[in-house]
C-alpha cells in the first residue's frame, strides 16, 4: 500500500468539525485556509461533506450534546480517515474544565491520530501538524 499512501499524503481533504469550541480555533482554521498560507499547494482542500473527507479537524471540548454527533461523523466518513485534534481542549479542556456540560475527552471518544496543541494554535503549527501526518503516511 506504499504507493497508495503516498497518493493519499498528497491529497488530504479536510473536514472541519467544530465540537463546541469557543470559536478561537475555528477562526485560526479559517485563517489557515486563506491565500496567505495557501494549503492547496500541499494538496489540502476544505470539503463541505464528510463523505469526501480524509481528515477531520476537530476543535473544542466535546460536550454532552455534540459527543454522539462527533462519533456519528467519524462513522460516516469513508475509510481511511484521520482525526486531528486542534487546540488544548482535546486533553485538558482548557478553561472549560469546570464546565457543567463537559463529558469525555476527544481521544476517549474516537481514535485521534495527531494533536496540535495551543489555545488557539497558530496556522503555522497546524501546517506542521499536517506535515507530520503526511510524513507518517510517506514512510
Partner 1 sequence: MNVDLFFYLLVFPGFLFTSILGLIVGWIDRKVSARFQYRVGPPFFQNFNDIFKLLGKQTVLIKNSLKSPFIIAPLVSFGSLVILSLFIGLPLFFDKSFGGDILVILYIMVVFSIMVFLGGGASGNVYSSIGAGREIKLFLADELTFFLVCLIPIVSSGYNLELTSIISAQNAGAVVGSIHGIIGFLAGIICIQAKMTMQPFDIPEAETEIIEGPLMEYSGSLLAFWKLNHYMMYVIYPFFLIALYLGGFDFQGLGIIWSLLKYLLIVVIMIIIKNTNPRLQINKALSFFWKILFPITFIGLILAILGV
Question: Pick from 83, 75, 26: which is nearest to 54 by CA?
Answer: 83
Contact status: 54 vs partner 1 (CB under 8 A): yes
Q: How far is the CB of 89 from partner 1 (least distance, A)?
A: 26
Q: Which residues contact 30 (CB under 8 A, 6 or more apart)?
A: none
Q: Which stretch binds partner 1 (CB under 8 A): 23-31, 36-44, 60-68, 91-99?
A: 36-44
Strands 55-59 vs 45-46: parallel, antiparallel or unpaired = unpaired
Question: Pick from 36, 23, 8, 46: which is nearest to 123 by CA?
Answer: 36
Please pick, from the candidates 4, 27, 30, 97, the single residue that binds partner 1 as defined by CB under 8 A: 4
Contact status: 122 vs partner 1 (CB under 8 A): no
Give me the residues that bind partner 1 (CB under 8 A), please. Answer: 4, 7-8, 10-11, 35, 38, 40-41, 43, 47-49, 51-52, 54, 76, 78-80
Amino acid at each position: 500500500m506504499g504507493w497508495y499512501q503516498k497518493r493519499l499524503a498528497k491529497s488530504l481533504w479536510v473536514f472541519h468539525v467544530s465540537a463546541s469550541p469557543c470559536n478561537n480555533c475555528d477562526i485560526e482554521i479559517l485563517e489557515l485556509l486563506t491565500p496567505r498560507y495557501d494549503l492547496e499547494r500541499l494538496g489540502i482542500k476544505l470539503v463541505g461533506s464528510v463523505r469526501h473527507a480524509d481528515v477531520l479537524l476537530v476543535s473544542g471540548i466535546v460536550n454532552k450534546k455534540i459527543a454522539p454527533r462527533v462519533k456519528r461523523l467519524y462513522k460516516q466518513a469513508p475509510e481511511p480517515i484521520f482525526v486531528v485534534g486542534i487546540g488544548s481542549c482535546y486533553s485538558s479542556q482548557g478553561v472549560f474544565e469546570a464546565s457543567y456540560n463537559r463529558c469525555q475527552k476527544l481521544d476517549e471518544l474516537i481514535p485521534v491520530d495527531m494533536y496540535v496543541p495551543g489555545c488557539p494554535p497558530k496556522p503555522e503549527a497546524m501546517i506542521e501538524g499536517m506535515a507530520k501526518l503526511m510524513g507518517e503516511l510517506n514512510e
